[in-house]
Structure 1
Amino acid sequence: VNYVKPRKVTIIGGRGRMGKFFTEQLSAAGHKVSLLGNQDWQDANRLLGEADLVLVSVPIGKTVEVIERAAKYLASTTALADITSIKTAPVQAMLEYHPGPVMGLHPMFGPSVTSFSKQKVVVCPGRKDDSFQWLLDFIASKGAELIVSTPQEHDWLMVIVQATRHFSRFSLGVFLAEEKIDIDRSLSMSSPTYRQEIDIVNRLFAQSPHLCADIILATEERCQTIGRLASTYTRLAQIVAQKDKAALIEEFEAAQSFFVKSSKPQQSNYAIAAPILPASVLQATEV
């Protein structure tokens, strides 16, 4: 086993669920982890000034202001990273306010997981990447897949991976609630894919409403894209209202052609074959 020098790590927002996950993982590996919350800024000189690595793990809307505030206390050699689900603004802020090593990270999982095994972490290089090599090696050694991206590419893909997906499931959940659907009864005569979809909607509504709203509203680009998605729903609903079967088939075939060219069927088959977990287990915070 390769020896890794213990590092001093401070996690800003470390008492949150994702902060706790990183605290547990890094502490178990022998690193000295300190936490800095709202009540701890009087100790910022010690907590931040002596750290080898500072991880920012706060709500999306507070990330940039926390980066600006924290940077004043950092040594020029301290590595500064954030684990927020948007990357362009945080990475820009870290590069602007901190002259030392900078990197953006986005763990693509919720804090209910117990390890990095089989998870994905997006890595957005910023400055002096070598200072983070020990951290990336640690995450990879625990079984995670590291995906390198620019902040801009990450944020565009997250519009689709996160924002429109959340909005679609949020909309379905609101509709089912408004229609007062007997979910248990519907599950008793459902297909595996319906049960899976209901489990996913359950998972969404098991998390904090503030987190869900933050993910949907995080950027203007997300809001505009969701508006275009809503327009698509409206257009298709009008076709249904007109009972225009030919137009509906035309829309289907156009999308079908796109997916035949771009998707990998084996991944879809895996999703259908995956076990359906009871709602009580699906208490993860979405990413």
Structure 2
Amino acid sequence: MLPENLKKIDQQLIDLLGERIAVLAKSPSIALEEQIASFTFSLVQAGVPECLWRNLVTGCTAAVASTLSPPVATQPRRVTLVGGRGMMGYFFKQKLSAAGHDISILDVGDWEQAQSLLEKADLVLVCVPIEYTIEVIHKLAQYLSPTTALADIASIKTPILQAMLEQHSGPVMGLHPMFGPGIKSFSSQTVVVCPGRGDDAFQWLLALMENDGGKLIISTPEEHDQMMIAVQAIRNFQTFSLGVFLGEEEIDIRRSLDFASPIFRLELDIVGRLFAQSAPLVVDIMLATPERREAIERLAITYNRLAQLIVENDRDTLIQEFKATHSFLGERMNSAVEESTHVINTLSTLLAAKEVEQKQPFFVRQQGAIAHQLVTP
């Protein structure tokens, strides 16, 4: 239980942060670095680490986004989430319920109630794994009213959007939230929107996501699927391969963390995050289309080519490869360094807090032992 004096300080901090966000909302053009640098000397005097102040200032500035977007008044909708007991389905249930909408769930064991759950819905949102999405669309279409809006959240859009357009005569839209389990809001999260038919029927849903801080990217399904080759398929394969390799090499992960740089730890975190997910989900993202499989094959060829240069100790060619890629990345490198440095600093802060938390019981035991010695005759 928190001590009362700590509770009092925390409440004061919360109140002050609320005031700070409100002031920033009235003058959002103040640069981050200007806010951070203004109190460098005061931070040293107060014993406050600069990374803590930087995270606080960054968090307040990010919170302005929701302050600048007042709640959108909208009439309650009847929404049926197909696959709503999964993790992403649960996320949408929480967000839609909090906005005042009437939510029903249609899951694997609920198809006897399909007609009652679907025919009067204003929106049906399909939240099932990729491998079942088209099959489920075919199955539910017979129950939909022509006025019902039908959408999905799968990571492939072209065949799925086409299936919805063919099976349902009413409004259709493809959505792809570019985040996974663990995210609590749409704030700073990207959602790809692929219009199909009757876009007006979805405006309340898109407004809800934007109002919660979401970033909507309008795309054709073809462009989406092309981009997902790099954003999802190749990335998943790269992380999957590293995890498999570490296992084959029998690397002592626990011991390696004692030696780890922040970057290595982040790499391990990304590997662990991937393997904490559903195996069929991860594998299906890589196998989903011929284009994804062919791109992964080309990546493997690149790996082999570079590995051969390493084996041959061809330093000059490797440097040429490095310089060519340096030119390709261009200005993006500056943002990459800035963003990754922020992530590293935030991770370092979390690890430092955990270290204090783990050591605290030891300190308490030591203090107790000393006190016992003082009172024992």
> Deviations 1:6-42 (Å, cap 9, x if unpaired)?
0000011111110011011101111011011121111
Specify the SS of the correspondent of 2:194. strand
Change (3 A) 1:264 1:239: closer
Residue pairs, 1:1-287, within 5 angstroms: 2-260=72-330, 263=332, 265-274=334-343, 275-276=346-347
Supply the distance in 1 between the matched residues of 2:260 and 2:115 (Cα, whole angstroms).
58
Flag as ranges the 4+ runs of structure 1 deviating above 3 A: none
Deviation at 1:187, TM superposition (A): 2.0
Specify the SS of the correspondent of 1:122. strand
Give the structure with the higher percent helix: 2
> Deviations 1:74-122 (Å, cap 9, x if unpaired)?
1111000000011111111111111110000001111211111121111
Specify the SS of the correspondent of 1:42. helix
Supply the distance in 2 between the matched residues of 1:92 and 1:159 (Cα, whole angstroms).
19
Specify the code of the residue in structure 1 equivalent to 2:181: P
Contact preservation (8 Å) 2:179, 2:190:
yes
- If you compute each CA radius of gyration, which structure gives the higher value, 1 or 2? 2
Supply the distance in 1 between the matched residues of 2:330 and 2:291 (Cα, whole angstroms).
27
Change (3 A) 1:120 1:22: same
Deviation at 1:189, TM superposition (A): 2.0
Supply the distance in 1 between the matched residues of 2:73 and 2:243 (Cα, whole angstroms).
49
Supply the distance in 2 between the matched residues of 1:64 and 1:123 (Cα, whole angstroms).
18
- Give TM-score scaled by structure 2 length: 0.71
Contact preservation (8 Å) 2:72, 2:207:
no
Change (3 A) 1:179 1:192: same
Residue 285 of structure 1 is matched in structure 2 by none
Specify the SS of the correspondent of 1:72. helix
Specify the code of the residue in structure 2 equivalent to 1:51: A
Change (3 A) 1:7 1:186: same
Residue 49 of structure 2 is matched in structure 1 by none
Specify the SS of the correspondent of 1:20. helix
> Deviations 1:148-201 (Å, cap 9, x if unpaired)?
111111111111001100100111111111111122222222222111111111
Gaps of at least 5 residues in structure 2 are 1-70, 355-377
Specify the code of the residue in structure 1 equivalent to 2:334: P
Gaps of at least 5 residues in structure 1 are 282-287
Supply the distance in 2 between the matched residues of 1:63 and 1:104 (Cα, whole angstroms).
12
Deviation at 1:2, TM superposition (A): 4.4
Deviation at 1:267, TM superposition (A): 3.8
Supply the distance in 2 between the matched residues of 1:184 and 1:134 (Cα, whole angstroms).
48
Deviation at 1:272, TM superposition (A): 2.9
CA root-mean-square deviation: 1.5
Specify the code of the residue in structure 2 equivalent to 1:4: T
Aligned residues between the structures: 278
Change (3 A) 1:74 1:242: same
Deviation at 1:218, TM superposition (A): 1.3
- Give TM-score scaled by structure 1 length: 0.93
Change (3 A) 1:264 1:204: same
Whose RCO is larger (CA < 8 A, sep 6+)?
1
Contact preservation (8 Å) 2:72, 2:211:
no
Supply the distance in 2 between the matched residues of 1:128 and 1:83 (Cα, whole angstroms).
17
